Amino acid sequence: METPAASSSASLSAPPPQNPHVLWRQVLGLVLWVGVLTYIAGGLVAALFGLVLGGVTLADAWKSGIYKRPGEKRFLNLSPMAWGIAMALLFIVTYPVYLLQRNKLRTIQGTNAFYWATVVVGAIVIVLLLLSAAAYYTK
């Protein structure tokens, strides 16, 4: 019979879940969806900001083990590519949800560098949105 201490240490040393996604397909999907849609909607600058924001979100989700799990039916059960696309195209909703739920969704305790890049790029986007709204309404 197994002692509680032995079973808890065994669960801590369990390998992280397998990544069911292929990185080049995730990146290609992000570039095609975000690049094309943001270019049509807002031009080259919007496409560049959308690709950077979506790219760092995809990288953070990939490195943190935030993968779509086939058996789960949840609102936040998204692939890294879907998080990147949602972050670029639905920024107002996705940015706070991702920042608040990231630690609950992650399965790998790795680096936080891409997380902080997501925070910084998102903050820059917020400032640019506020500045453009201010310029529009002060005409």
Give 36-59 pLDDT, tens digit per residue: 998 898 889 888 989 999 999 999
Distances 124 to 54, 66, 114 between C-alpha atoms, Å: 14, 24, 15
In angstroms, rounded to a whole number, what is the distance separating the alpha carbons of residues 69 and 59? 18
Helix spans in 1-139 (H): 4-12, 23-30, 36-64, 80-89, 91-105, 113-137
Q: Which residues contact 78 (CB under 8 A, 6 or more apart)?
A: 66, 68, 86
Give Cα 71 to chain centroid, integer Å: 21
Please tell me the predicted confidence (pLDDT) of residue 26. 84
Q: Which residues contact 36 (CB under 8 A, 6 or more apart)?
A: none
Q: Is 43 left (phi over 0), alpha (psi -120 to 50) or beta?
A: left
The pTM of the full predicted model, rounded to 2 decimals, is 0.77
Most confidently predicted of 26-30, 63-67, 122-126: 122-126
For 88-130, the pLDDT digits (tens) are 999 999 999 999 999 888 888 878 899 999 999 999 999 998 9
- Cα pseudo-dihedral 125, 122, 75, 86, rounded to 10: 50
In angstroms, rounded to a whole number, what is the distance separating the alpha carbons of residues 139 and 133? 10
